[in-house]
Amino acid sequence: MYGRFLLPYYHQNPKMKMLEIGLGCNMNYGPGASVSLYKTLFPQAELWEAEFVEKCVRQYQGTEMMKGINVLTGDQGDYGTLDAWISKSGGNFDVVIDDGGHQNCQIWNSFMKLWPAVKPGGLYFIEDMEVARHGKKRQAQAPCDSNVIVPEKLKEMFDVLIYEEFGQQRSESDIEFIFCQADACVLGKKLDADPASVWWNKHKA
């Protein structure tokens, strides 16, 4: 998925601005594995990392691994935190990769706030959705409730792209495509996306 979408995007936009949620502080192999890869693959990009565990970020922030990486901290499921991330970073991301907490409400609240901050033509990746139906991944976090299952939400968006009965919604939507593989999906934003999309505003709940 990344080879098909992210690498070609970078080659066309080497100065791209990318946000990844999830530094990997809770991983057995330690934080920063993806950071090292991104620095190698995308040397001209503006890279942002968001992480929940602030203590871990402070521990590694001054290291060579984090050199050149812009850092955000806080709960990706909290609207106030997400607003602060957008304010501090300036938003206007080419690419967002959500590889964070994997709670449905964390993913969905992040998407609701960060998708509008993605540039027209940009990409939004969501990882590890194979656990979406697990009970422990369905904790409510306002304004999202425990009934939200992110893959089901994506299916609703997919229906709008596919079925002719949704023609009006499709024309109002800012989603160009949805591509999924095992466990993960990427959404592409229309080049002519309208930030005040009528369809989007109707489907925020």
List 11, 102, 134, 203, catalytic entry: 102
Q: What is the 3-state secondary structure (H, E, C) of 119-146?
A: EEEEEEEECCHHHCCCHHHCCCECCECC
Q: DSSP assignment, residue 55? A: H
* Residue 94 CB neighbours (<10 A): 22
Between helix 104-114 and helix 79-89 the angle, nearest 10°, is 40
**Is 102 considered catalytic here?**
yes
Sequence-separated (6 or more) residues with CB below 8 Å from residue 44: 14, 15
Instruction: Write out the catalytic residue numbers.
Output: 102
